[in-house]
Structure 1
Amino acid sequence: MKAIGNIIWLVFGGIFIAIEYLISSILMMLTIIGIPFGIQTLKLAGLALWPFGKQTRVVENSNGGLSFIMNIIWFFVGGFWIFLSHFLFGILFAISIIGYPWARQHFKLAVLALTPFGREIIEK
């Protein structure tokens, strides 16, 4: 079921989301200051490519204060807009019963887009 969900996800826009994250990650990594943000965007790209069968969790020992500060910077630089786009797509997909699995994936991406520092992606 995970493979079918991922293939349908890719066909109906997941590949474009992943490419968008990849391009933004490359652009962010052009500067030394942007490298940590580019790495987090790569994390989003990987999850956006194959979201079914993966989940995110908070890392217990994740440089507490630094992760918090980086999440605040991330929120104001662009994380809010990424969160908002995934949240709105999630609501649109959740309107129908058929779109509910894809809505859940958008909500999962929205949470990661809001606070990517101090989180990791794991297999279910």
Structure 2
Amino acid sequence: MRVILNIIWLVLSGFWMFLAYMLAGVILCIPIITIPWAIASFRIGVYALWPFGKTIVDKPTAGVGSFIGNVIWVILAGIWLAIGHILTGVAMCITIIGIPLGIASFKLVPISLMPLGKDIVDVGGSRAFPAR
């Protein structure tokens, strides 16, 4: 089922959001100081291309630096990418078949706003649900 959802996602939204993240990453590579945000943009772009079967978890080592970096990210590119996810999510929710895809688009909004301090892991992966 994940493969079918990912293929439909790729055609309807994934490829376009992937291009948006890649464009943001390339633009953020121009000034050298913003390269860490560009790397985050590339990482999330690959996740936005094929999201089903993966999940987001918090990094245990994330701290104040991640928070400050996320504030800068929101100003530089995050708000525009989040708006893109919201618009595509609303468009997909118009049909009953598109509702799961719209929900997936809405689930990408938090990471598009605050990518630093997060990891993208496989749902069945050992890091997805760490033992405490």
Instruction: Output the TM-score relative to the length of structure 2.
Output: 0.84
| Separation in 1, partners of 2:112, 2:12 | 20
> What is the percentage of aligned positions where both structures have the same residue?
37
Q: Match for residue 86 of structure 1?
A: 85
| 8 Å Cα contact 1:55-1:122 kept in structure 2 | yes
Residue 121 of structure 2: SS of its match in structure 1? strand
Q: What is the CA distance between 1:60 and its match in structure 2?
A: 1.4
Give 1:1-124 correspondences, 5 Å limit.
1-62=1-62, 64-124=63-123
| 8 Å Cα contact 2:78-2:112 kept in structure 1 | yes
Residue 20 of structure 1: SS of its match in structure 2? helix
CA shift in 2, pair 1:109/1:38, >3 Å: same
| Separation in 1, partners of 2:78, 2:13 | 20
Query: Which structure 1 segments of 5+ residues have no match?
Result: none
| Separation in 2, partners of 1:51, 1:78 | 20
109-118 or 87-96, which deviates more: 87-96
Amino acid at match of 2:17: I
| Separation in 2, partners of 1:23, 1:88 | 18
| Separation in 1, partners of 2:19, 2:82 | 17
Amino acid at match of 2:5: G
CA shift in 2, pair 1:89/1:13, >3 Å: closer
Q: Which runs of 4+ in 1 moved over 3 A?
A: none
| 8 Å Cα contact 1:44-1:109 kept in structure 2 | no
RMSD over aligned Cα atoms: 1.5
Count of aligned pairs between the two proteins:
123
18-27 or 87-96, which deviates more: 87-96
